[in-house]
A and B are shown apart, each in its own frame.
Chain A
Amino acid sequence: MKRLQKFFMGHSIQRLSKMPGGSMKRLQHFFMSTGFNHASASVFSIIVGLLFGLIILFISNPSQALEGFGIILKGGFSTGAKGTGQVLYFATPLILTGLSVGFAFKTGLFNIGAAGQFIMGGTTAVYIGVLWTSIPAPFHWMVALLGATIMGGLWGLIPGLLKAYMNVHEVISTIMMNYIGMYTANFLVKSYIYDSQMALSKNVAPTAVLPKGGLDYVFYNQMGNSKDLSTVNAGIIIALVMAIIIFIIINKTTFGYELKACGFNKNASKYAGINEKRSIVLSMVIAGALAGLGGGLLYLSGGSGRRIRVVDVLAMEGFNGIPVALLGLSNPIGIVFSAIFISYITVGGNYLQTLNFVPEIIEIIIACIIYFSALSMFFRTLLPRFIKFIKHKKFPEGENIEEGQTQEEGGEL
């Protein structure tokens, strides 16, 4: 493991030393920066997760382990453009639940309730999609999505209010809201929008299905004269837009400045005249709304898409928002990539069924990879030491990286 790490880091630094002076220094700074360190920790934990998955493959079915590993690695690509589309389709809700968890985390809150917010959003969207057929065509899916967002927001509002005014810890209240959400969703689906033959929620009206947004010209496999379309639709575009909007809110606006300030230090925010109760409530509402929107985007996807199953299990997409956010370092752009990665692995894992692996093993492997990915925190503290070690090996003293930095007095000594 250590040798691999060394190889990985050593390689990048060796390449650096061949570059011309000025830009090399800047690159060195980049490689020594915390951002790079964190990102490389994420990448590294993914590799460890994959290797661990390989071990499980070997235990369960040694003869086909390597072949199976290849299938996982090829992921969604193994079935051409359609597979790639499927990866993006399943990434869509993960991006939003990841944003939900990540956004709350940036503002100092742990939103464990993405599962409940997600399923309530999804149920609301399907409810509107199935029953409110009087809404004119171009607006139907928009209204359904809006409903999903509002319902998700409501599911975040309650823990937010409890946290701000009653000092109830949001981890507890969001977990409770998960179960309330799950059973409420089950009740609503069974009572109003149930397809008893399929034991699933009914198909939404065609007007409530998200438009393809031109993606049907990209993600399909040619089957004779007809196109085998992927389920992917404009949902992925909406998800990307949301990621950008959240990025802007967090990093560029006074609103984000206030929310982050409250997350870092409630007392100092109050001292600065920020309404810290309002900030907590708004953070939770936005986090909930994002997860709810994710539910809407997943379930409003027409015949080939997902439908709501009435089971007593919390929505996977909600919980996977946590590793997505961790792996993406709670950075909206990072979350987009980590969501696509996790979706990619999941889709690839499903193709393992073509070999002699029982479906449960596949689930276990995927779960291992995902949760090892969440170990990036651990590697984040380990990696800098190795980088420092290598740095001292590669650059003799005097040529040190510190040389390029200004040495000012008076830091914390």
Chain B
Amino acid sequence: MIEVENLTKRYGEKVAVDGLSFTVQSGAVTGFLGPNGAGKSTTMRMIAGLDQPTAGQIRVNGRDYRRADDPMAELGIMLEARAVHTGRSARNHLLALAQTNGIGRRRVDEVIDLVGLGDVAGKRVGGFSLGMGQRLGIAAALLGEPRVVVLDEPVNGLDPEGVLWVRNLLKDLAARGHTIFVSSHLMSEMALTATRLVVIGRGRLLADTTVAEFTAHAGDSSVTVRTPQAAELRAALLGPGVTVASDTPDVLVVEGLTAEQIGTAAWQAHLPVFELTAREASLEEAFLQLTEGSVDYHAHKPAMAGAAQ
């Protein structure tokens, strides 16, 4: 379990994390979302004890990680940038980390096999691809079979097979009672892996909830109906809290009713329906909606876009 309380981090004038409080529970994969510059990596560095909070505190498994006697059994962490001496082989890198906590060579070979680096374990890390570097980072995080696993952008640079492997690995670890806290900018990936979400923007908490709740509350769920008798169906559906829009003849976009309710209403009014499609707001849309206004780095629409058409 990770408990974050009123966490604040200032770098000079810039406030990177601002009064952040949340709890990451064991036995679940918790996604950590936020736009670039929201303070995700800073928060993770503070969890690892690398950066000292300006105010507030963090407890890992109920204790201050910087005082841990058995750190590698408490917390395994992979940070965003590669944290490996490029001149060292993968095996020696992992061995050096393992030895500090009295973890043996057998476990080092185990995690090397686990992450699929067996063929290149003796090679210098400097020549590793982004994906291999990620696998090495994950291997390092798992060395001590830690109760809490924190990974910053673990699927970055992985091929589809690797992405699937990480997804299953994290779910498996969570099912075994480990606390898993993962940041990602890939919202779709997070929707498949995480069950809980912590969303931050500009260093502040925007949401601490489940994935299901998060998307449900985002609104914008709608049902598209195709019918030759659009006007009659619209009349049959309209009511309090229901909006019906129509861009093309024969097609209605209904908000405020479920597909079941619309289908039943059409059947009762003896109106034919050719298509009935429920569209849930995706995690991505929910995320964009929530973080709107807390994004530091906006892409601006090119001024010439209209002229080019």
Chain B associates with chain A: no
Q: Which residues of A contact B (CB under 8 A)?
A: none
Q: Which residues of B contact A (CB under 8 A)?
A: none
